[in-house]
Structure 1
Amino acid sequence: MKKFLAWFLSIVIVLLVFGGGCFALAKYNTNSLAHSYYQKLTGKPVRSSKKLEIAYKVPVTMQKDKAASKVDSALKTNNLVGSTAIIRKGQLTYLTATGRSHYPGGSKNTNTTKYQIGSAQDLITAASVMKLSQQKKLKLSDKLSKYYPKISGAKQITVKNLLNMTSGLSITATPPATDSFPTLLSWNERNVQNSGQTGSYDYQAVNYVLLAGIVQIASDQPYREFIQTQVIDKLDLKNTGFVLNSTKRDKLATSYEDSYSGGKVAVTGMAKVQSTKLGPYQMYMSTLDLATTYLYILSGKFIKSTNVEKLIGSSKPSFVGGVYSGKNYFTVHGQLGGYQDSVQIDAGKQNGVVLLTNYVPTGIKSTQTAPIIYNTVFK
């Protein structure tokens, strides 16, 4: 009996040691297959236990922006709510918040309020692709067939076409309501259509869904984990993450429909709205975190300055690398179920406006919000 107990205890100890080792491998070795399964089971990327040096902090001036009162007036005049950041000469000069994150009598928006950022995530995805290109893990000239050979016409479409929305790909079917990026990625691959108009601009979310998938393939790690380790952790962003479920969604400012009907009506079915662009359109941020991330990318610290120009530089108005670029400035604008992102930054990447909102009054387009403030401050 004693021999049996000793043998049994030895087996238990071995199993505990082995199990603990497997768990550590799954949790912390991000290059292991076990880690991929761990992430699927837990639904979240894992932060490394090793403390990382912060790669970039947006410079903050000690003096309030000289146009601060004009910004306040413009926000009030145009009934704009949300959180607004002013960047002047590469420094954060003003950060303000208006309106409420919950109506009618709920909490007010603040400088740390979190919003879903919608298509403002395009630049983050595009810069991630460029970073992998910089690391020789992919080429912008790579054919889509290298990653998704089953897609019609994939041999004529390049990664650069996807970045600039000139692939000719689109989806007309309604995607499933899911919080699983692998499920949605597979669905996009099966349902994507090719118009044969490769080279012609057409904004279609499927381009950046596929790019998120390419980031996964080239980096050998899930898209969310890549963004977590390469951007969120390195910038120590406190009010940034991925909206994976209703618990996460409840921590954001509630999004409201455009209405002057006597009260703001909350958008319903956000889980379904979000799932249509799951993956590259799933992040939430505060305005400061978004401004910090953009300046990190534009500063040449995330990717080389030459590659920033290669990604978004353009002498004529066009969509390139996740932004609408022109000779004098570039803009970002989009809407996602009542949330709106609006950014305008000058070509020199020194002056700009970043605005995130959970309610946009009727008559104000997503292409107008940041430009209204930008023109007030810099014209």
Structure 2
Amino acid sequence: MAHRYYQRFFASTSKASQPAKVVATAFRVPVTAKKDKAASQVDAAMKANNLVGSVAVIRAGKLTYLASRGQSKYPSGAKNTSATRYQIGSAQDLITAASVMRLKQAGKLSLSDKLSKYYPKVTNAKHITISQLLNMTSGLSTYATAPKTNSFPTLLTWNENNAVSTSTGSCDYQAINYVLLAGIIQKVSGQPYREFIQAQLIDKLDLKQTGFVLDDAQRNKLATSYEDSYSGGKVAVTGMAKLQSTKLGPYQMYMSAKDLATSYLYILSGKMISKSNLDKLIGHTQSKFSGGVYPEDGDILVHGQLGGYQDSIQINPDKKNGVILLTNYVPTGIKNTDTAPIIYNKVFK
């Protein structure tokens, strides 16, 4: 797969019959030889709160502990492991946002660009900037039911035609913002969104448990997502294709906890984009939502869900300490805004 993408993206001027060069890995997450000193607290916190999934602990920029709990297939299937793959939901927002900043850094777009430059049909597009899309302050939303589709162009057209605009300025998390940003990445880079991410992140970091969920065959290779039934038992979430199609493009990725930790460290360490551009992206301490994350007291928080999958992340970019939790089941009463902080507070507070 990497060989095919390399030929397509980096060797377009050479003949396909020529041997492809090996893409040098841009970043590998440093892994410590010893188990994190708080490993037992991580295990205890997961067990006490009945947390299921895979957790990665980052200390001083190094991966110090990976742990998994629960089953990827319930009730009698395989257990979750460090290689288990989960759909990451809105944890993909930072990846999309950093990709926009990478294009900005290359001089191909400006954060002050108006949406009308790319999607003139969107209501109020002349008054909405890329910066506002990044920070969910565009005032855009959609109320109609999105089509069930595997076609990103179809969904982009649907969002363009069904966008509803309210007053801009206040933060309101709406998927349309990042769907349109993925479309802008396509227009500016000249590549489909998925292929841009493949070339700029997945191949560069040599991520082995990362990709895009495009059909049921691929979806079945992931941990099955579950939710509590009314009787208290676990039931597999149905209709995942429909849930995913409403956010097709920037909400398709699956990852293992280690791959997600690697991706976030790559971005937050200023290697994918410069530190000055990183600060412009997530350094708005007064913003509720900034470039794919929620800034809070020096930390960044990420929390999202897609069906029964949930992601919960808390990282201190300065100290490079953090917890990343990917799960395929969260018990009733536990919010995804709480799960990573529960572990983080045990380890770092």
- Given residue 55 of structure 2, which amino acid in structure 1 is its aligned partner? T
Which sits farther off after the overlay, 138-147 or 257-266?
Answer: 257-266
User: Which residue number in structure 2 is paired with residue 59 of structure 1?
Assistant: 30
Count of residue pairs brought into register by the alignment: 340
User: Which residue number in structure 1 is paired with residue 16 of structure 2?
Assistant: none
User: Which residue number in structure 2 is paired with residue 154 of structure 1?
Assistant: 125
Instruction: Flag the 1:27–1:87 CA change in 2: closer, same or farther, 3 A.
Output: closer
1:271 aligns with 2:244: no
- Kept in 2, the 8 Å contact 1:317–1:327? The answer is no
- Given residue 72 of structure 1, which amino acid in structure 2 is its aligned partner? D
TM-score by length of 2: 0.94
Note the C-alpha offset of 1:29.
4.4
User: Which residue number in structure 1 is paired with residue 330 of structure 2?
Assistant: 360
2:171 & 2:9 partners in 1: Cα distance?
37
Which structure: larger Rg?
A: 1
Note the C-alpha offset of 1:317.
5.5
- Given residue 263 of structure 2, which amino acid in structure 1 is its aligned partner? T
Which sits farther off after the overlay, 118-127 or 57-66?
Answer: 57-66
Deviations 1:330-368 (A, max 9, x none): 100011000000000014151000000000000001100
Note the C-alpha offset of 1:49.
4.0
1:114 & 1:72 partners in 2: Cα distance?
20
1:254 aligns with 2:224: yes
1:31 & 1:355 partners in 2: Cα distance?
34
User: Which residue number in structure 1 is paired with residue 15 of structure 2?
Assistant: none
Note the C-alpha offset of 1:328.
2.0
Secondary structure class of the residue paired with 2:68:
strand
- Kept in 1, the 8 Å contact 2:88–2:311? The answer is yes
1:193 aligns with 2:164: yes
Instruction: Flag the 1:81–1:270 CA change in 2: closer, same or farther, 3 A.
Output: same
User: Which residue number in structure 2 is paired with residue 22 of structure 1?
Assistant: none
1:282 aligns with 2:260: no
1:253 & 1:330 partners in 2: Cα distance?
26
- Given residue 301 of structure 1, which amino acid in structure 2 is its aligned partner? K
Deviations 1:242-284 (A, max 9, x none): 0000010000000001358353100001100110111000100
Note the C-alpha offset of 1:125.
0.1
1:129 aligns with 2:73: no
User: Which residue number in structure 2 is paired with residue 91 of structure 1?
Assistant: 62
- Given residue 255 of structure 2, which amino acid in structure 1 is its aligned partner? M
CA RMSD of aligned residues (A): 1.9
Secondary structure class of the residue paired with 2:329:
coil
User: Which residue number in structure 1 is paired with residue 89 of structure 2?
Assistant: 118
- Kept in 1, the 8 Å contact 2:71–2:77? The answer is yes
1:376 & 1:61 partners in 2: Cα distance?
20
- Given residue 261 of structure 2, which amino acid in structure 1 is its aligned partner? A
Q: Which of these residues, 152, 155, 165, is aligned with residue 181 of structure 1?
A: 152
Q: Can you give the 5+ residue segments of structure 1 that lack an aligned partner in the other structure? A: 1-24, 34-47
Q: Can you give the 5+ residue segments of structure 2 that lack an aligned partner in the other structure? A: 13-18
- Kept in 1, the 8 Å contact 2:268–2:317? The answer is no
2:140 & 2:11 partners in 1: Cα distance?
33
Secondary structure class of the residue paired with 2:250:
coil
- Kept in 2, the 8 Å contact 1:240–1:286? The answer is yes
Secondary structure class of the residue paired with 2:45:
helix
Note the C-alpha offset of 1:31.
9.2
Note the C-alpha offset of 1:326.
2.2
Secondary structure class of the residue paired with 1:254:
coil
Note the C-alpha offset of 1:62.
1.1
User: Which residue number in structure 1 is paired with residue 318 of structure 2?
Assistant: 348
1:74 aligns with 2:37: no
Instruction: Flag the 1:335–1:26 CA change in 2: closer, same or farther, 3 A.
Output: closer
2:230 & 2:67 partners in 1: Cα distance?
24
Instruction: Flag the 1:126–1:108 CA change in 2: closer, same or farther, 3 A.
Output: same
Note the C-alpha offset of 1:314.
2.8
Note the C-alpha offset of 1:77.
0.3
- Kept in 2, the 8 Å contact 1:298–1:349? The answer is no
User: Which residue number in structure 2 is paired with residue 108 of structure 1?
Assistant: 79
- Kept in 2, the 8 Å contact 1:30–1:221? The answer is no
Deviations 1:276-321 (A, max 9, x none): 1110001000000000000000111100011111100133361000
Note the C-alpha offset of 1:146.
0.3
Larger relative contact order, structure 1 or 2 (CA cutoff 8 Å, min sep 6): 2
2:5 & 2:320 partners in 1: Cα distance?
42
- Given residue 166 of structure 1, which amino acid in structure 2 is its aligned partner? T
Following TM superposition, where does structure 1 have runs of at least 4 consecutive aligned residues deviating by more than 6 angstroms? none
User: Which residue number in structure 2 is paired with residue 37 of structure 1?
Assistant: none
